[in-house]
Amino acid sequence: MITRATLDTLWAKVESQRDRVPAMYGKVDFRAVPERFAAAPGDPTALSGKYDRDRDALLADPDRVEFIRAYTMTGDATADAYAALMREYGFRALVDMLTRACDEGVENVPGAPPELVAFIRDMERIPDWLDMKLVEEGARIDRNSAANFGPFIIRGAFIATFMNKYAALPMAITGTLSSQTAARRVKDTATFFTTSLLPGALERHGPGFKAAAMVRLMHSMVRANVLRRPDDWDMDVYGIPIPQVDQMPAGLISVFLLSYRMIEEGRHEFTPAERATVELARYRCFLLGLPEELLADTPQGIVDLMNARSGTLRSGYDDSTCGELLRATMAADLRADDSLRARLHEIFERAFAKLFFVKSFMGGDKAKAAAIGVHLTAGDVALAAIAGLFIYARIRLYALAAHIPGLRAVADRRLIAKLKAQLASYGHAEFTTDAAQYRPSAPPVPAE
């Protein structure tokens, strides 16, 4: 339950960013309400479709609304403090020190700044609720869909991150507007989530732990670079770049959909298998720096927090931001090579991504999708249907094998091999952001 005392403590934490990272937040008025935050009845928000019916209940709880508003103005002070050292150490030195700290321990980094020590120690902290056996079981369960469904959904899932101009602007400013840079970002994102599913990946010296640290630093570097460009970033409109609430969807969307479905079915407790996948998602988000208060552990709690974020994020589609990102991603060449197999996969994958986009974001309206650059043809629908049958059959076969003694281990080893092959095809993840490539933001368009 959110109390006044809870909110007072939270606001103190929010405003402490000014003292902890003055180079980034010294002039920020954290109590100001940016245009992106929509808390009035009738405001158009990102909470749409069947989920919109829950907005009245959200607005009836002013403490929850204030809770989300506070986290809308919250960055990642621990990682931000390290990123703020760019001018002193240089971009490459910060990346190299973090890499060595992950591989060898921060105590083995010569001259490690206190900010790096704090960063690593924060990630090494073991939350009271963590059960690594459950996390490992969740990874084992998720390997099936990631290996068989993942390669067809990475483009479409990435699109979900920039369909709102308020949340998408950091990505637009950082230069992810060409098919080449979009392809790199899609692969980097897929690399992180795929890596996190390998056995032992989220252990202290596992590859998932290291990938989480690099993603966390990248987000902080974006904040640091963007906040140094007040002419390109209107705080009154957009608030804090990449606030904590904007990191929830990528890490929690699967467990949100699961939780919402459970509630509709009248279920309020996770099965053991569902609990394992939830704990995997929660710990992955924890390593990415999300506050534990945003990592609910019950179906209702997860739904309430995700709806609160969507229900207070003002809707807004700006073609110069969202549209360009969308078209760049749809045009991106995600092939690892020019082999026949790679070319065939891309044909089916691109068609599947188009259908996914039209159904998920356009309400099935093909004309509306075409107006912003996504043309779904009858041929695309046919190809996507074939791909869907192929995906479903493979997932069902692996799921069946997981329940047959003697085949479970064999099937899991095969899935692990498939995931490693996917990682190889994505190439080396950069998890970096180059301020020299940033572009000016478009002038803010008044909210409708």
User: Tell me: the pLDDT tens digits for 284-296?
Assistant: 999 999 999 999 9
The phi-psi region of residue 444 (left if phi > 0; otherwise alpha if psi is between -120 and 50; otherwise beta) is beta
Q: What is the CA radius of gyration of the chain?
A: 21
**What is the rounded average pLDDT for all residues in the chain?**
90
> Which two three-digit tokens encode residue 106?
């921060």
pLDDT, one tens digit per residue, over 395-415 is 999 999 999 998 999 999 999
Interacting residues of 390 by C-beta distance below 8 A, sequence separation 6+: 348
Q: Is residue 3 a part of any domain in this protein?
A: no
Backbone angles phi, psi at 311, to 5 degrees: -75, -5
User: Residue 443: pLDDT band by 50, 70, 90 thresholds?
Assistant: very low
Lowest mean pLDDT among 185-189, 228-232, 365-369: 228-232
Q: Is 126 left (phi over 0), alpha (psi -120 to 50) or beta?
A: beta
pLDDT at 407: 95
Question: How far is Cα 216 from Cα 233, in angstroms, rounded to an integer?
Answer: 21
Q: Evaluate whether 25 touches 81 at the Cβ level (below 8 Å).
A: no
Averaged pLDDT for residues 140-167:
89
Res 438: pLDDT: 45
Confidence of residue 441 (pLDDT cuts 50, 70, 90): very low
In a domain, 54, yes or no: no
Predicted model pTM: 0.90
Band (159; pLDDT cuts 50, 70, 90): confident
pLDDT digits (tens, 9 = 90+) for 270-280: 999 999 999 99
Phi-psi region of 54 (alpha: psi -120 to 50; beta: other; left: phi over 0): alpha
DSSP track, 177-211: -SHHHHHHHHHHHHHHHHHTTSTTTTSTTSHHHHH
Kindly report, residue by residue over 317-352, the tens digit of the pLDDT.
Answer: 888 888 888 888 888 888 888 999 999 999 999 999
Return the minimum-mean-pLDDT range out of 223-232, 260-269, 379-388: 223-232
How far is 272 from 56, CA to CA, in rounded Å? 33
Angstrom distance (rounded) from CA 44 to CA 428: 40
Q: Is residue 193 scored above 90 in pLDDT?
A: yes
Which pLDDT value is given to residue 71?
97
Give one DSSP letter per residue of 107-144, joined into a string: GGSTT--HHHHHHHHHHH---TT--HHHHHHHHHHHHH
Q: Considering the domain boundaries, does residue 48 fall inside one?
A: no
Q: Residue 436: is its pLDDT beyond 60? A: no
Cβ atoms of 45 and 55 closer than 8 Å: yes
Helices 62-72/4-15 angle, 10° precision: 10
In a domain, 260, yes or no: yes
The pLDDT tens digits for 12-52 are 999 999 999 999 999 999 999 999 999 999 999 998 878 88
Q: Report the distance separating Cα 97 and Cα 362, nearest Å.
A: 44
**Residue 178 pLDDT:** 66
Q: What is the pLDDT of residue 180?
A: 73
3-class secondary structure, 314: strand
- 222 inside domain: yes
**What distance in Å separates the CA atoms of residue 208 and residue 188, rounded to the nearest whole number?**
13
Which two three-digit tokens encode residue 204?
A: 């202290």
Q: Which two tokens stand for residue 235?
A: 């705080």
- Condensed to tens digits (0 to 9), the pLDDT of residues 50-83 reads 888 889 989 999 999 999 999 999 999 999 999 9
Mean pLDDT of the region 95-101: 97
Judge whether 52 lies within some domain: no
Residue 313 DSSP SS3: strand
Inform me whether the pLDDT recorded for 161 exceeds 50: yes
Q: Which two tokens stand for residue 67?
A: 């809770």
- Give 357's pLDDT tier (boundaries 50, 70, 90): confident
Position 186 in a domain: yes
Number of domains within the chain: 1
Q: What percent of the chain clears pLDDT 90, i.e. is strictly above it?
A: 71
- Pair of tokens at residue 217: 């630093």
Bridge partners, residue 37, by sequence: 313
Q: Please check whether residue 138 is in contact with residue 251, taking contact to mean a CB–CB distance below 8 angstroms.
A: no
Number of H helices, E strands in the chain: 23, 0
| Residue 364: domain span | 126-426
* 100 inside domain: no
Burial string for 209-230 (b: 16+ CB within 10 Å, else e) reads bbbbbbbbbbbbbbbbbbbbee
Question: Sign of the CA dihedral 343, 345, 351, 357?
Answer: negative
Dihedral sign from CA coordinates of 213, 76, 182, 226: negative
Choose the weakest-confidence range: 125-139, 244-258, 290-304, 428-442.
Answer: 428-442
Q: Return d(Cα 388, Cα 394) in angstroms, integer.
A: 10
Nearest alpha carbon to residue 275 among 122, 138, 376: 138
